[in-house]
């Protein structure tokens, strides 16, 4: 008899094989795998007692904590669908998502009480609000908090043999740009197979210790919630990104791996207190979520004495698609190693990747020809929640169209040059904002950089760079101009630089270029901030 593919099997296995091994560390709390599994079963029982039905959507508004990790298994044990919410969204955005998903119950951290109070009356499906910790004081909250519900519940386990592996297990909403957010449906099969493939690709050791530096509301924290559990690893929860707290946890918990977005890595490299901690346990740092640069890869390896590689994926792909580790038999010497490890990389097992032109025809693998990355594989989503037309558009021809523009070289390594909407079309030439940002970030005075198009009467649009300097660093606009022109064709270089204190970012540290673009295109071309360049480049 074939056993359905479901992530519930990961925790069942870890509980049997490693019952006394530490499963999760969250502030002062520590649970072994037996205790962790028991709590997930009690959560399933509590959901059942509170009227949650099969396929109901159970929402969590929470930072990284053991309770949200428990939900990754407990909600599925109850036969329901987990809906982790992005804590950086506004009241109206959260209300839209909860209504669109038809969530029936919302678990929330105390710090988000005022936020939920602002939109709860606009909800049309949520019937219960449960505080994750502390005494519920507001009249609209459930009388018991999360731990109170667990204490009063009888454990409940799903019969795995009856689970439909193609049923939706998790529902994540993409960030809306020109349209409302879309719910990405990931099935039991999706997340199960992707976890297996990630373990194979990264050769993650049994009992690994990983910091949850990426929020769990982002595609299960880039898969860590699942693949680390199947290996009986230790989940070390990070509630908010604070450099000294990251260093402390690495030292005290013996963390071996973590995932970062570039701005996080930059902050850790430039933190002066880093040398006060013993970080020798680290073996690998994976950078993803946004394009990295060879400069940053080198700085991370020099600062931490561990391997640093890039990874790539999307919410719609569960999420991992590729990694930039050096293949067996290849030899990257000197700076070439950093260039290689900053690439988008090659497809992990279970994933097929291509680059196609506007007519979905393959472009040459010459490292120069640009096209859109399309993929298919075990982790690709079932579709967008209740949006069949949007699903059909991105899944045309049986391949998921990512919207990422890239090249492919003869060794099978992809390199993203930009998002479709971020390609700058100046005088008929396509310019990659990512290429410009990498060149600017190589300057020792630059901490962050974001390149956007701005209107130009002669060329239509030209690149403009917004930069944040490192503490106490000094550099002029003309010096940065010369620095870029020494490294790039002149037509690609920014026509202007603007020095800013900070750049707007998403919950995982991606620069919000759409917010920056609005400032410079206001009243001139309302299409450009979202779609005009994409139409030109395709």
Using alpha carbons only, what angle is made at residue 67 by residues 201 and 246, rounded to the nearest 5 degrees? 60
Largest Cα–Cα distance in the chain? 71
pLDDT digits (tens, 9 = 90+) for 27-74: 999 999 999 999 999 999 999 999 999 999 999 999 999 999 999 999
The answer, yes or no, to whether residue 507 has pLDDT greater than 80, is: no
Q: How far is CA 236 from CA 25, 252, 254, 526, in A?
A: 5, 11, 10, 44
Decide which of 2.30.42.10, 3.90.870.10, 3.40.50.12780, 3.40.30.10 is the CATH code for 241-419: 3.40.50.12780
Decide which of 3.40.50.300, 1.10.1660.10, 3.40.190.290, 3.30.300.30 is the CATH code for 423-537: 3.30.300.30
The answer, yes or no, to whether residue 176 has pLDDT greater than 70, is: no
What confidence category does residue 192 fall into, taking pLDDT thresholds of 50, 70 and 90? very high
Q: Would you identify the CATH topology of the domain 8-189? A: Rossmann fold (3.40.50)
Note the pTM of the prediction, 2 decimals. 0.86
Using alpha carbons only, what angle is made at residue 114 by residues 108 and 115, rounded to the nearest 5 degrees? 70
Q: How far is CA 520 from CA 34, 175, 443, 462, in A?
A: 55, 22, 25, 12
Instruction: Give ranges for CATH 3.40.50.12780 in the chain.
Output: 8-189, 241-419
Would you list the DSSP string of 358-396? TTSPBPPSSSS--EEEEEEETTS-SEETT-HHHHHHHTG
Quick one: tokens of 165? 């592996």
pLDDT digits (tens, 9 = 90+) for 298-333: 999 999 999 999 999 999 999 999 999 999 999 999
The Cα–Cα gap between 394 and 456 comes to: 32
């Amino acid at each position: 008899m074939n056993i359905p593919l479901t992530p519930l099997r990961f925790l069942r296995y870890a509980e049997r094989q490693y019952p006394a091994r530490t499963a999760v560390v969250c502030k002062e709390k520590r649970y072994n795998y037996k205790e962790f599994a028991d709590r997930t079963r009690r959560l399933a029982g509590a959901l059942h007692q509170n009227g949650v039905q099969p396929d109901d959507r159970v929402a969590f508004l929470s930072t990284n904590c053991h309770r949200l990790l428990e939900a990754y298994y407990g909600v599925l044990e109850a036969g329901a669908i987990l809906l982790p919410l992005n804590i950086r969204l506004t009241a109206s955005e959260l209300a839209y998502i909860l209504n669109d998903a038809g969530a029936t119950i919302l678990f929330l951290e105390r710090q988000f009480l005022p936020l939920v109070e602002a939109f709860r009356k606009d909800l049309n499906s949520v019937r219960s609000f449960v505080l994750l910790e502390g005494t519920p004081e507001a009249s609209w909250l459930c009388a018991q908090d999360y731990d109170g519900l667990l204490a009063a519940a009888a454990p409940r386990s799903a019969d795995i043999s009856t689970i439909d592996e193609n049923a939706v297990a998790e529902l994540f909403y993409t960030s809306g740009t020109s349209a409302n957010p879309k719910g990405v449906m990931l099935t039991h099969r999706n997340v199960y197979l992707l976890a297996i493939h990630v373990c194979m690709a990264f050769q993650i050791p049994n009992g690994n210790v990983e910091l949850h530096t990426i929020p769990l509301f982002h595609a299960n924290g880039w898969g860590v919630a699942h693949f680390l559990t199947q290996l009986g690893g230790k989940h070390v929860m990070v509630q908010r990104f604070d450099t000294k707290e990251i260093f402390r946890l690495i030292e005290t918990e013996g963390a071996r791996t973590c995932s970062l977005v570039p701005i996080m890595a930059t902050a850790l490299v430039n933190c002066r207190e880093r040398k006060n901690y013993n970080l020798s346990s680290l073996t690998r740092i994976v950078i993803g979520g946004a394009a990295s640069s060879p400069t940053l890869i080198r700085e991370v390896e020099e600062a931490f004495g561990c391997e640093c590689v890039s990874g790539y994926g999307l919410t719609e792909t569960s999420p991992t698609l590729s990694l930039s580790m050096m293949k067996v038999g290849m030899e990257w010497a000197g700076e070439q190693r950093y260039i290689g490890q900053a690439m988008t990389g090659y497809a992990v097992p279970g994933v097929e990747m291509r680059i196609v032109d506007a007519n979905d025809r393959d472009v040459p693998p010459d490292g120069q020809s640009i096209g859109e990355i399309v993929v298919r594989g075990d982790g690709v989503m079932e579709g967008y929640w209740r949006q069949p037309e949007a699903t059909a558009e991105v899944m045309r021809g049986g391949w998921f169209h990512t919207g990422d523009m890239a090249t492919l070289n003869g060794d099978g390594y992809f390199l993203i040059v930009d998002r479709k909407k971020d390609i700058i079309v100046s005088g008929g030439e396509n310019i990659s904002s990512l290429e410009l940002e990498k060149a600017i970030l190589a300057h020792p005075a630059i901490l962050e950089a974001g390149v956007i198009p701005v209107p130009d009467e002669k060329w239509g649009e030209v690149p403009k760079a917004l930069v944040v300097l490192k503490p106490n660093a000094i550099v002029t606009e003309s010096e940065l101009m010369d620095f870029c022109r020494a490294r790039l064709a002149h037509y690609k270089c920014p026509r202007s630089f603007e020095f800013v204190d900070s750049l707007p970012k998403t919950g995982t540290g991606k620069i919000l270029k759409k917010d920056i673009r609005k400032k410079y295109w206001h009243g001139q071309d309302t299409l450009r901030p979202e779609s005009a360049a994409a139409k030109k480049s395709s």
